[in-house]
């Protein structure tokens, strides 16, 4: 399937990055729907907050959160408050995890490839050469 193709995934990630940059330049409020996997919170969220998250999470970037948002490398980074106590954390979302970008309820971007499992990356360069399989333990 085309959505499993690594070049297609890179294309969708590039497109998401361009749309995010555009919205951030305009300081236009928007939301992102993303796969929860590999999202980093610093400091880590308390268990009573993080345990409520599912496989997909929605972030609304508005007001203070929008003013802190930036793209660094392949990540969207912003500060946000969580839970009743508004626990503050810096959120790092891999752009490849973004499933949708919305303005109000209008989808501006959809990436169905973000819902697929990520391709496994070799642990070391030795694994890249198929002739080395005979030396690796299963």
Domain boundaries, the chain: 2-135
Please report the beta strands in 19-105, taking only residues with DSSP state E, as ranges in sequence order: 30-35, 40-42, 56-61, 70-72, 75-82, 87-94, 98-103
Residue-averaged pLDDT of the chain? 88
DSSP-assigned beta bridge partners for residue 18: none
- Across the beta sheet with 106-110, what order do the strands follow? 56-61, 30-35, 98-103, 106-110
pLDDT at 2: 86
Confidence of residue 64 (pLDDT cuts 50, 70, 90): very high
Q: What is the pLDDT of residues 78-119, one digit of tens each?
A: 999 999 999 999 999 999 999 999 999 899 999 987 776 665
Tell me yes or no: is domain 2-135 CATH 3.40.50.10240. no
State the pTM of this model.
Answer: 0.81
pLDDT at 127: 64
- Token digits of residue 123: 């642990």
């Amino acid at each position: 399937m085309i959505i499993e193709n690594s070049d297609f995934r890179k294309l969708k990630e590039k497109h998401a990055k361009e749309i995010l940059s555009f919205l951030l330049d305009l300081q236009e409020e928007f939301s992102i729907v993303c796969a929860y996997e590999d999202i980093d919170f610093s400091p880590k969220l308390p268990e009573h907050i993080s345990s409520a998250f599912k496989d997909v999470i929605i972030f609304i970037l508005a007001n203070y959160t929008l003013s802190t948002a930036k793209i660094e490398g392949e990540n969207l980074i912003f500060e946000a408050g969580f839970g009743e106590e508004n626990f503050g954390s810096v959120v790092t979302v891999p752009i490849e995890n973004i499933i949708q970008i919305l303005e109000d309820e209008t989808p501006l971007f959809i990436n169905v490839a973000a819902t697929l499992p990520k391709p496994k990356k070799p642990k070391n360069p030795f694994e890249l050469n198929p002739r080395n399989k005979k030396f690796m333990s299963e």
